[in-house]
Structure 1
Amino acid sequence: MLNSCAPSYQSIHQKALLVDTHNDVLSQVVMEGKAMDQDLTGQAHTDLARLKKGGMDLQVFAVFCDETYGPGKAFAFANAQIDSLEATAKRNPKQLQIVHSPEQMQEAIKAGKIAALTGVEGGHMIEEKLDNIDHFYQRGVRYLTLTWNNSTTWASSAADEVKGNGRKGLTDFGRQVVQRMNSLGMLVDLSHVGEKTFYDVLETTTKPVLVSHSCAASLCPHSRNLTDDQLKALAKNGGVIQLNFFSEFLDSTYNKRVNAFIARHKEDIEVLEKQKLSGLAFRDALYKKFPEETATLNPHISVLIDHIDHVVKVAGIDHVGLGSDYDGISSAPTGLEDVTTYPMITKALIERGYKRKDIEKILGGNFIRIWKANPGNAAASK
């Protein structure tokens, strides 16, 4: 039984520093013509008002494009997304502030604003040029995910390593990428990378690394998740894994349930597909049509807490955080439907017996620690 005199979960959540290291609203929503400062309920997981309601202090916005954006396109599209975030902040100076350092983050939070960082998701966006890393850093990018599902010429992805596609690990140029990031103060992000790349990076980096949006493979075997050996190596490095909210990465039985549901309702789904609804609108229409069945498809929020428990057990309390992947995922656990629901994580952690200081580490403290452990080069940051 909880102590009736203990602070409420709302109070603990409000006072803690909340960080989410991966949100795809820029590439998946804003670049499709919607504005984050509008009410996007039912259209997206994220908008500014709902981020504030969820208690967000520091949101890292992912800058993303897939492998179809080749040389001459990927770097430009990445910059266009950063432009879009800057435009949003300019329109909403009392709500959103782009920050480049922990000190600027504290200033923004003190002023009642959401602090915004960017992270580039996919090494192909540097287009084989170290100078493009410098450019991104100058624009405020504070992590680079070395690969997406597609490998680069210099680093292999988890998806390709599992399929046996091409060479594995880092090349000499890949090591130069890591070294350049270390010298600048840009976090090396190892979500999406293959195991060989993962370990090559840990042998190369001189700073703690980030895994911005992945889960535990022991609980859900998936190439996007980290094995226990990787979690232990991450802890030895001093890094942090930020847990993804995607149902498929949390629950190994999720796809089986979904496939069975689709098979039962193929004709109804085809009718809805003809309406060309957005992802969330399509889901909502489908869920309203079959409420009892769809209520059992997604895992419960408790499954995310199971992953937190596992990482804490294997790697320690200092090496886990939150990287939702909102607006980059098609399904989140029941109880985590959008960015307003972060307080439910705090509530669930209290119910699992986590103490306030450890909850504060999970909600944001661990990320801030590794961000500070990757100090920027004074000359580069001017």
Structure 2
Amino acid sequence: MRKMFSFLCLFGIVTSGWAQDYEEVHRKLLVVDGHNDVIISSILRGRDIGQRLDKGHTDIPRLLEGGVDVQVFAVWSDDQKWKKGAFKHANDQIDALERVIAQNSDKIALAKSSADIEKIRKEGKIVALIGIEGGNMIESSIPNLESLYARGARYMTLTWNYNLPWATAAAIEDGKAPADQQGLSEHGKAIIRRMNELGMMVDLSHGSKKLFYDVLEISTKPILVTHSNAAALTPHYRNLDDKQLLALKKNGGVIGVNFYAGFLDTDYESRVDEAYRKHIGAADRNISSWEKYEKLTKEQQYEVTVPLSKLIDHIDYLVKKVGIDHVAIGSDYDGIEAPPRDLEDVSKLPNLTKALLERGYNQEQIAKIMGLNFLRILEQHEQN
């Protein structure tokens, strides 16, 4: 991988004399976060992420402080709210991101290729990439898919939490989906083929197990699972089981660890419920864990979320199952309410490097997890 080696050289991490100071190690890394929802959570709400915010997990000052070199900005919509107009909504989000980039052009630039990433990094700027979270936004149209790719989208998460006419979601694996909608339809297969031709990565976070295996059968390129964890440790439908992990390894794909406490620890939601009842009172059944968490004080939130060690446990498990070349990070910042302690926002990412060093990972291994594995799969999709 010539380009990957050039990045190693650029950031000084092919030498044997690495300093053990975690902040210095972190500065030398190419840090790629494969999934962040700040467009929908802040930008579309009129918050200026060019300035440090007192809300949310992400803004440009904190990205710089956290040493984030490449940030994938998720373009997302709730399928139920956007049953019509989802394609326009996707374009509106990209428009909004482009305005942020134009207003902060000395600090951030949009990349559409690995060559762009290298160029922008040499200029000392944050690299912005675009990912589409939810195939509903192409409205079943391959021309719409092509249009979003042309605008810079370099992966598409096939589903969010609802079934589409051509693909089924993990969240609706209850046997109620019609048989002809299980997994990937014939039109869905055409969409995957076109994504392969374009060089657009297929993201199977949120996808059903049937969809997962259907895509593996047809895709000619490695798959991406941007923000999911190990089901063996936390048996949530958004996490991958061992069989899926072995299939991902065989395919050459990459899984990005999700920072959400609920995907890291099975007991998280029960702790939120208990804290809410203790400090606030009985909750309406329709109140989500997110809403309950937000009503707790900072100190109470700290108590119910998970230690950083839980995230490292998932990384350890994934590395054991799929190997060091197939694990990345996909924080899901601003799409979650409860990241681990010491990873409260993007500025705290050096703490992840510190924790990996303390767990015994060497700097070459950390470089792969923190960015090079994501870059590798991006480069593979650029090759025809």
Which residue is equivalent to 1:99?
111
Which residue is equivalent to 1:192?
206
Which residue is equivalent to 2:378?
371
Which residue is equivalent to 1:57?
69
Which residue is equivalent to 2:7?
none
Corresponding residue to 2:235 among 211, 221, 230: 221
Cα distance in structure 1, aligned partners of 2:270 and 2:169: 25
Cα distance in structure 2, aligned partners of 1:146 and 1:365: 23
Which residue is equivalent to 1:131?
143
> How far did residue 261 of structure 1 move?
1.0
Which residue is equivalent to 1:331?
338
1:253 and 1:113, CA in 2 relative to 1: closer, same or farther beyond 3 A?
A: same
Cα distance in structure 1, aligned partners of 2:149 and 2:239: 27
Which residue is equivalent to 2:297?
287
Corresponding residue to 2:162 among 150, 159, 169: 150
Which residue is equivalent to 2:36?
23
**2:351 is the counterpart of 1:344:** yes
> How far did residue 202 of structure 1 move?
0.3
Mapped contact 1:298–1:332 kept (Cα < 8 A): yes
Q: Structure 1 length normalisation: TM-score?
A: 0.91
Mapped contact 1:162–1:223 kept (Cα < 8 A): no
Mapped contact 2:18–2:25 kept (Cα < 8 A): no
- SS at 2:30 equivalent: coil
1:16 and 1:5, CA in 2 relative to 1: closer, same or farther beyond 3 A?
A: closer
Amino acid in structure 2 at the alignment position of 1:94: D
The equivalences for 1:1-382 within 5 A come to 6-41=19-54, 43-162=55-174, 164-166=176-178, 167-267=181-281, 286-288=296-298, 291=299, 293-375=300-382
Q: Structure 2 length normalisation: TM-score?
A: 0.90
Cα distance in structure 2, aligned partners of 1:5 and 1:364: 18
- SS at 1:14 equivalent: helix
Cα distance in structure 2, aligned partners of 1:346 and 1:325: 18
Q: Deviations over 1:228-255 (max 9, x none)?
A: 1111100110000001100000101111
1:87 and 1:208, CA in 2 relative to 1: closer, same or farther beyond 3 A?
A: same
> How far did residue 326 of structure 1 move?
0.4
Structure 1 residue runs without a partner (length 5+): 274-278, 378-382
Cα distance in structure 2, aligned partners of 1:55 and 1:191: 25
Cα distance in structure 2, aligned partners of 1:84 and 1:312: 37
Mapped contact 1:186–1:376 kept (Cα < 8 A): no
Q: Deviations over 1:333-359 (max 9, x none)?
A: 111100001100100000011011100
Amino acid in structure 1 at the alignment position of 2:259: F
Q: Deviations over 1:91-139 (max 9, x none)?
A: 1111010000011111111111000000000001000110011101100
Which residue is equivalent to 1:276?
none
Mapped contact 2:293–2:301 kept (Cα < 8 A): no
Q: Deviations over 1:156-215 (max 9, x none)?
A: 000112464333100000101100000000000000000000000000100011101111
Cα distance in structure 2, aligned partners of 1:269 and 1:97: 44
Amino acid in structure 2 at the alignment position of 1:225: N
Cα distance in structure 2, aligned partners of 1:375 and 1:111: 23
Amino acid in structure 1 at the alignment position of 2:213: Y
Identical pairs, percent: 47
Amino acid in structure 2 at the alignment position of 1:44: G
Aligned residue pairs, count: 362
- SS at 1:295 equivalent: helix
Cα distance in structure 2, aligned partners of 1:115 and 1:294: 32
Cα distance in structure 1, aligned partners of 2:165 and 2:258: 26
Amino acid in structure 1 at the alignment position of 2:43: V
Mapped contact 2:276–2:282 kept (Cα < 8 A): no
- SS at 1:321 equivalent: strand
